Amino acid sequence: MIMPMLTCCAMMSALAGAGEQEVSGELVVFHAGSLSVPMQEIAGAFMKEHPGVRVLREAAGSRESARKISELQRPCDILASADYAVIDSLLIPEFADWNIRFAGNEMAIVYRGESRHAGELTAENWFKVLLSDDVAFGRSDPNSDPCGYRTILTLKLAETYYRQPGLAARFLEKDTRYIRPKETDLLALLETGNVDYVFLYRSVAIQHGLKWLPLPDSINLKTPALADRYAAASVELTGKEPGTVVTQKGEAMVYGVTIPKNAPNPAAAEAFLEFLLSKDKGQAIMEKQGQPSVVPSPATNYNLIPERLKPYALP
């Protein structure tokens, strides 16, 4: 009688353990282009831990990704945005309930050793170098990609910081043919020599082994303590509805993630986010790839976050 009871208990224990982790099926992840490298590594590690899941990643500008959900009704299990505010402004409350903040970043000037005047570039003269007639630079579309509007915010803050009236307007009028939908599209322009410099995130430069010029904290949108200074700059962007406009103020860079209301595989999505937000798993990979963790941080609609994910957020 003892052996069957032990066998039964062992089976029940095994089933209980499997029930906690057993997820399967396809998991569709829309994510910012700047998350391509870490997300590839995180997805691979997650699938090793959950072999029944197949992660399907799709990189695009964060605002474009949000519109795939809100306007095109594309099925999506997770949206990871380069700006948490994209989720708040374009998806909540109609298409998502909550938003967890999970990583930081900073703006930088990214270039190659062969870029024109690279040897002269400093934090004091970069704007003069990039505005030179023999230099071309690239930036991303502000209506598709947070890096695009963060570039404009950085330029407006630089105008004040360096006491250069009209600086932002001069930049926005130059090299408009090198505007691309998302920040990682600029890498091809840089690597082929079509442009000498790009406005890009520090993490992307680190991930691709490129040179980058650190910008002063007063303009690089890195430091939460400088929130008031950053908020002095703003840019108008397309709103939720066609023909509408929203004002985006400057603030420290914080990435956000959510599970849309129509997620086809919410169980796998929760498991993936638990992996992503765990300090020794997804967050360790993010840190290695140049993006500091902000977990836990105050979340949007904390009370609506799934219970297993609440430990990674603050009310």
Same-domain status, 162 and 282: no
pLDDT the model gives residue 41: 98
Same-domain status, 212 and 296: no
Q: What is the pTM of this model?
A: 0.89
pLDDT the model gives residue 102: 98
Handedness of CA 124, 126, 129, 132 (dihedral sign): negative
Pairing of strands 179-180, 137-140: parallel
Residue carrying structure tokens 């498991």: 271
| 273 pLDDT above the threshold of 70 | yes
| 10 pLDDT above the threshold of 50 | no
pLDDT the model gives residue 20: 53
The CATH number covering residue 98 comes to 3.40.190.10
Mean pLDDT across 114-118: 97
Q: How far apart are the first and last CA of the chain?
A: 52
* Rounded CA Rg of the chain: 22
Same-domain status, 130 and 233: yes
- Give, for 198, the enclosing helix (H) or strand (E): strand 197-201
Cβ–Cβ < 8 Å for 161, 216: yes
| 137 pLDDT above the threshold of 60 | yes
Kindly report, residue by residue over 158-194, the tens digit of the pLDDT. 999 999 999 999 999 999 999 999 888 999 999 999 9
Dig out the tokens for 266 from the structure. 């919410």
Same-domain status, 51 and 165: no
Q: Mean pLDDT lowest for which of 14-28, 85-99, 279-293?
A: 14-28
Same-domain status, 39 and 77: yes
Q: How many residues are recorded in the chain?
A: 315
Identify whether 309 is part of a domain.
yes
Number of Cβ within a 10 Å radius of residue 314 = 13
State which residues form the domain around 88.
Answer: 25-103+254-314
| 15 pLDDT above the threshold of 80 | no
Q: Mean pLDDT lowest for which of 10-14, 201-205, 243-247?
A: 10-14
- Reported as a pLDDT band with limits 50, 70 and 90, residue 22 is confident
Q: Is the peptide bond before 142 cis (omega within 30 degrees of 0)?
A: no
Identify whether 144 is part of a domain.
yes
Same-domain status, 225 and 128: yes
Identify whether 5 is part of a domain.
no
Mean pLDDT, the chain, integer: 93
| 21 pLDDT above the threshold of 90 | no
Last residue of a domain, one of 206, 238, 270: 238
Identify whether 243 is part of a domain.
no
Same-domain status, 64 and 85: yes
Tally of structural domains, the chain: 2
Same-domain status, 215 and 269: no
Same-domain status, 130 and 217: yes
Same-domain status, 63 and 165: no
Identify whether 3 is part of a domain.
no
Q: Is 69 left (phi over 0), alpha (psi -120 to 50) or beta?
A: alpha
- Give, for 256, the enclosing helix (H) or strand (E): strand 254-258
| 8 pLDDT above the threshold of 80 | no
Give me the torsion for CA of 291, 151, 244, 256, rounded to 10°: 0
Mean pLDDT across 69-95: 97
Per-residue three-class SS string for 72-136: CCCCCCEEEECCHHHHHHHCCCCCCCCEEEEEECCEEEEECCCCCCHHHCCCCCHHHHHCCCCCC
Number of Cβ within a 10 Å radius of residue 293 = 17
| 104 pLDDT above the threshold of 50 | yes
What is the C-alpha to C-alpha distance for residues 128 and 86, in angstroms, rounded to an integer? 32
What is the C-alpha to C-alpha distance for residues 144 and 253, in angstroms, rounded to an integer? 16
247-267 b/e (C-beta count within 10 Å ≥ 16 → b): ebebbbbbbbbbbbeebebbb
Same-domain status, 125 and 185: yes
Last residue of a domain, one of 204, 238, 272: 238
Identify whether 92 is part of a domain.
yes
Dig out the tokens for 132 from the structure. 């030179």
pLDDT the model gives residue 13: 39
- Reported as a pLDDT band with limits 50, 70 and 90, residue 5 is very low
Same-domain status, 61 and 99: yes
Last residue of a domain, one of 191, 206, 238: 238
